[in-house]
Amino acid sequence: RAFAQELGVKHCIATPGCTPALAVLAAAFGFEPGDEIIVSPVTDYGTVQGLIREQYLPVFPDTDPGTVNMSARTIAPCITDRTRAILVVHKTGLICDMDPINELATRHGLIVYEDVCQAVFGKYQGRYAGTLALAAGFSFDSEKTLGSDVGGCVTTDDDRLAERLRFIGQSRGGEMIPHFGRAHTAPGYAHRMTQSTAAITLAQLEIIKPQVEKRDRMIRLLMRLLGEIPGIVPLPIPDYVEVYSCWMAGFSIEPAAFKCSGEEFAAQLAKAGVSGAGQGKYYLMPAALTFIQEKAEKKIYPYSQPPASRAYHYSADSCPNARDFLENFIRWSTFCEKYEEADCQLAAQLVAEVAEQNRI
Q: What amino acid is encoded at 191 in this protein?
A: H
Contact 43, 22 (CB under 8 A): no
In a domain, 295, yes or no: no
pTM: 0.95
52 and 164 in a single domain? The answer is yes
Phi/psi for 245 (5° steps) reads: -80, 75
Q: Is the pLDDT of residue 208 over 90?
A: yes
Domain that holds residue 226: 208-280+320-358
- Asked whether residue 197 falls in the same domain as residue 245, the answer is no
Residue 287 falls inside a structural domain = no
**CATH classification at residue 99:** 3.40.640.10
Domain finish residue from 206, 227, 257? 206
* Domain shared by 215 and 163, yes or no: no
Does one domain contain both 175 and 229? no
Confidence of residue 29 (pLDDT cuts 50, 70, 90): very high
Question: What pLDDT, on the 0 to 100 scale, is given for residue 276?
Answer: 92
Say if 147 falls within a structural domain: yes
Residue 56 within any structural domain of the chain? yes
Same domain (yes/no): 199, 329: no
Number of domains in the chain: 2
Clarify whether residues 268 and 197 are in a common domain: no
Q: Render pLDDT for 284-302 as a digit per residue (tens, 0 to 9).
A: 999 999 999 999 999 999 9
- The reply to whether 251 and 266 lie within a common domain is yes
> Looking at residue 190, what is its pLDDT?
87
Run of H or E residues at 202: helix 195-205
How many whole angstroms separate alpha carbon 341 and alpha carbon 232?
Answer: 20
263: number of Cβ within 10 Å = 14
Q: How far apart are CA 341 and CA 350, in angstroms?
A: 14
Triad 104, 45, 293: Cα angle to 5°: 85
